[in-house]
Structure 1
């Protein structure tokens, strides 16, 4: 089974691409959702995080106070590294389990959708990497519409993300999402057909 990563910066339309693939019956794993799940009550990560960032980062019901955790973790480079060291192995374990299940089900292609793939250990697991891009101003407008924020905040969010040049250097294929949804689907279908023929080895 070939593992294909789908990545892109905020507002590029990555979710639209993944939804199309899911509708076509391909296994699609949302890495960003998995990253949120590892902070849900019962996760083995929570006790480890409490040991580093304080017991009060979770309430009496085991619910993580995400803003408090973020404030402490991202205050220093060491804190950010500690957060990653605790959560990343569990995220990767869950993604690997979902991929193994897809392979047992007979899938020839499985897609993993994640904003942060490039530069993480999971990048090495990808047989191919599709980068979804959109013009900068288009992405800003989409972020504003989706999250109800002003353009300045949307631009700040975009500018803090991994540079496009870095993502392009890692990508097997780039999918420019600057037209109607139907055009995106056609472009994606073309890439998937090439993946199935193993043109992106």
Structure 2
């Protein structure tokens, strides 16, 4: 089974690509959702994070105050690194477990959708890395509509992410999401054809 990572910056339309692939019956693993799940109540990561960032990052019910953790963790490079080193092994374990299920089901390809794949240990697991891109201002508009934030905040968020050049250098294919949904789906179909052809060659 081939593993294909799908990456891209915020507002590029990764989820539209994944939704289409899932509708075609391919296993699609949402790495960003898993990253949220590993910080749910009862997670072994939480006591470790409390020790570093303060016991009050959990509320009275033991639920994580995500914004408070983010404020403290992302305040310094060391804090960001500690958060990553605490959560990443558990995230990778969960992804691997889902990939095993996909392989057991006989799927020829499994897709892992994650904003942060490039530069992590998981990058080496990908047989292909598909980059989804969109014009900068289109991404800004999508982020505003999705998250209800101002264009300034959306631009700040985009500018803080991995530069496009870095993602392009790591990617094996790119889909440019700058037209209709129909055009996007045609590009995905062409990418799938190239994967299948590779399997026969």
Which residue is equivalent to 1:32? Answer: 32
d(CA) in 1 for partners of 2:155 and 2:105?
42
Which residue is equivalent to 1:74? Answer: 74
Query: TM-score normalised to the size of structure 1?
Result: 0.96
Tell me how far 1:142 sits from its aligned partner: 1.3
Q: Does 1:126 align with 2:123?
A: no
Stretches (4+) displaced over 3 A = none
Long gaps (5+) in structure 1: none
d(CA) in 1 for partners of 2:197 and 2:163?
30
Q: How many residues end up aligned between the 2 structures? A: 200
Long gaps (5+) in structure 2: none
Q: Deviations over 1:76-117 (max 9, x none)?
A: 111111111100000000000000010011111000000111
Tell me how far 1:136 sits from its aligned partner: 0.9
Q: Deviations over 1:143-171 (max 9, x none)?
A: 12222222222111111111100000000
Structure 2 residue matching 1:198: 3-state secondary structure? helix
d(CA) in 2 for partners of 1:117 and 1:162?
10
d(CA) in 1 for partners of 2:191 and 2:166?
21
Indicate conservation of the 8 Å contact 1:109/1:196, yes or no: no
Structure 2 residue matching 1:107: 3-state secondary structure? coil
Query: TM-score normalised to the size of structure 2?
Result: 0.96
Tell me how far 1:198 sits from its aligned partner: 2.1
Q: Does 1:13 align with 2:16?
A: no
d(CA) in 1 for partners of 2:87 and 2:165?
27
